[in-house]
Chain A
């Protein structure tokens, strides 16, 4: 009699535990997800993310959809934890093999999460850089200059996409080659275009820190004689009667300086 009752109780307990434990895990998981979402939102707020993304296209787009960048990020955290909870529930319930769950956790889920994060950061960073460069160039009324900010933005987006695709283990070799070519072009053109500026700046460092001549000295450089009016990173201003010479600093270094005593 006793053993029968015990057996029934035991069976009852196993039944309960096999259905209740997954349920409890699931409910706990959902709550954890929501709480973590809220907490991360506060954390993002405290980190000043709303201020730093203000005015970017991404922020404006998600605002139109009724949320914000911090909202989206915290939603992603919530979803991620939720997916973990579902996976855990299923694996405890025996519907999903534990090894599958571990694989899911370690592998794809995390990668999707990271990829999404990279894309969002890329979008925001791209917008931010575009706005900054635009502000910086706003006084230059030259049509060609307007190409630079979007170019910078799309370069950043391109790199972010590459990283995200790489994270998802999608074949990116052709895109990598494009990126490599692009960077090579930038370096080659940059080196050619900025050759003189770089040389002048390097010479300017020397002139500024060691000051072989200073404002008020009369010097002769490259057969141009006058009073030094200003020395900055790239140029030296020499003024003589009615004439002002603006000499790139590398010329000063190359030709040498004659200082009148």
Chain B
């Protein structure tokens, strides 16, 4: 015996729920057979067929972000409430679960990151695909130079009515959806020019080169962000869309919903 059992016992004492992140099938079977508190699986897909499941939009590299997302998801799905003491089992290094975190569900203020993915007008898979495209753009840039981009996702009809065309729309009469293999290359090329991409609820790319004209009055975004972010924040306040922005100056990806900045992440970390 190593004598550290006492510390671990403290860690796991009277937890109300267990969140398991990306377990393998065997892991999960073992946990389900032995653990008496409710078990919630958090993963990009429900491969183990768990009853309680929270879908991650992408594999977070930041453990804090991942836990935060899972807790918000748990509260949103009413699996837990803010008072619940949750034990998170995760894999940091090797293949098995190797780290445990004890956290109260109300520890973080609700940012709406889970809400953004799951309860937006657009389908979660569409938002996920757009986020992946933007992260890809942020990583590679355009021929090594940093690029900026603005994607408005969902409620496309209204967004189109609150914007105007800067140039001939390359996606007119096309049937391209985000997530199609060719799209990455196309979007990368088109991101060279200014303007926003408009994407419908089902993921169809409606237009590129849109100049957004929402009323920016009363939109409160953090100081230091430019007009692209201002436009993104404002359009999400005027319509039921969400906006995902890649900043040209600092290279970060930010998501807006309801006029508010919901989260920001560094594409280099993914």
Decide whether A and B assemble into one complex.
Answer: yes
Which residues of chain B come closer than 8 Å to A228, judged between CB atoms? Answer: 157
Taken together as a complex, chains A and B put the C-alpha atoms of A211 and B172 apart, in Å, by 9
**B194 to A: closest C-beta gap in Å:** 20
Which residues of chain A come closer than 8 Å to B172, judged between CB atoms? Answer: 214
Which residues of chain A come closer than 8 Å to B156, judged between CB atoms? Answer: 215-216, 229-230
Which residues of chain A come closer than 8 Å to B202, judged between CB atoms? Answer: 230, 232
Q: Counting CB contacts under 8 A, is B32 at the interface?
A: no
A227→B175 contact, CB < 8 A: no
B160→A216 contact, CB < 8 A: yes
Q: Counting CB contacts under 8 A, is A127 at the interface?
A: no
Closest partner residue, chain A, to B159 (CB atom): A216
| Residue from the list B158, B173, B201, B206 in contact with A227, Cβ < 8 A | B158
Which residues of chain A come closer than 8 Å to B204, judged between CB atoms? Answer: 215, 230
- Beyond A227-B158, A229-B157, A229-B200, whether A216 also contacts B175 by CB under 8 A is no
Interface string of A207-225 (1 = CB under 8 A from B): 0100100111110000000
How many residue pairs link A and B with beta carbons under 8 A? The number is: 40
Taken together as a complex, chains A and B put the C-alpha atoms of A237 and B200 apart, in Å, by 11
Closest partner residue, chain A, to B173 (CB atom): A211
Interface string of B25-54 (1 = CB under 8 A from A): 000000000000000000000000000000
**B73 to A: closest C-beta gap in Å:** 19
Closest partner residue, chain A, to B156 (CB atom): A215
Which residues of chain B come closer than 8 Å to A232, judged between CB atoms? Answer: 202
**B229 to A: closest C-beta gap in Å:** 23
Q: Counting CB contacts under 8 A, is B109 at the interface?
A: no
Size of interface on B: residues with Cβ below 8 Å to A = 15
Taken together as a complex, chains A and B put the C-alpha atoms of A216 and B207 apart, in Å, by 10
Task: Give the one of B156, B159, B161, B175 with max A CB within 10 A.
Answer: B156
Q: Counting CB contacts under 8 A, is B155 at the interface?
A: yes
Q: Counting CB contacts under 8 A, is A239 at the interface?
A: yes
**A7 to B: closest C-beta gap in Å:** 81
A227→B200 contact, CB < 8 A: no
Taken together as a complex, chains A and B put the C-alpha atoms of A239 and B156 apart, in Å, by 11
B173→A216 contact, CB < 8 A: no
B201→A208 contact, CB < 8 A: no
A215→B155 contact, CB < 8 A: no
Taken together as a complex, chains A and B put the C-alpha atoms of A237 and B155 apart, in Å, by 11
**B151 to A: closest C-beta gap in Å:** 15
Taken together as a complex, chains A and B put the C-alpha atoms of A228 and B175 apart, in Å, by 16
Taken together as a complex, chains A and B put the C-alpha atoms of A27 and B242 apart, in Å, by 77
B200→A215 contact, CB < 8 A: yes
B175→A239 contact, CB < 8 A: no
Which residues of chain A come closer than 8 Å to B173, judged between CB atoms? Answer: 211, 214
- Beyond A229-B155, A229-B156, whether A215 also contacts B206 by CB under 8 A is yes
Task: Give the one of A211, A216, A239 with max B CB within 10 A.
Answer: A216
Taken together as a complex, chains A and B put the C-alpha atoms of A227 and B161 apart, in Å, by 9
Which residues of chain A come closer than 8 Å to B157, judged between CB atoms? Answer: 215-217, 227-230, 239
Taken together as a complex, chains A and B put the C-alpha atoms of A217 and B157 apart, in Å, by 7
Which residues of chain B come closer than 8 Å to A218, judged between CB atoms? Answer: 161
Q: 12 extra interchain contacts, Cβ-Cβ under 8 A, other than A216-B156, A216-B159, A230-B202?
A: A214-B172, A214-B206, A215-B160, A215-B200, A215-B206, A216-B157, A216-B161, A227-B157, A227-B160, A227-B161, A229-B200, A239-B158
Q: Closest 5 A-B residue pairs measured CB to CB? A: A216-B160, A227-B157, A229-B157, A215-B206, A215-B156
| Subset of 26 A-B contacts with CB under 8 Å | A208-B175, A211-B173, A214-B172, A215-B157, A215-B160, A215-B200, A216-B156, A216-B157, A216-B159, A216-B160, A217-B157, A227-B157, A227-B158, A227-B160, A227-B161, A228-B157, A229-B157, A229-B158, A229-B200, A229-B201, A230-B157, A230-B201, A230-B202, A237-B201, A239-B157, A239-B158
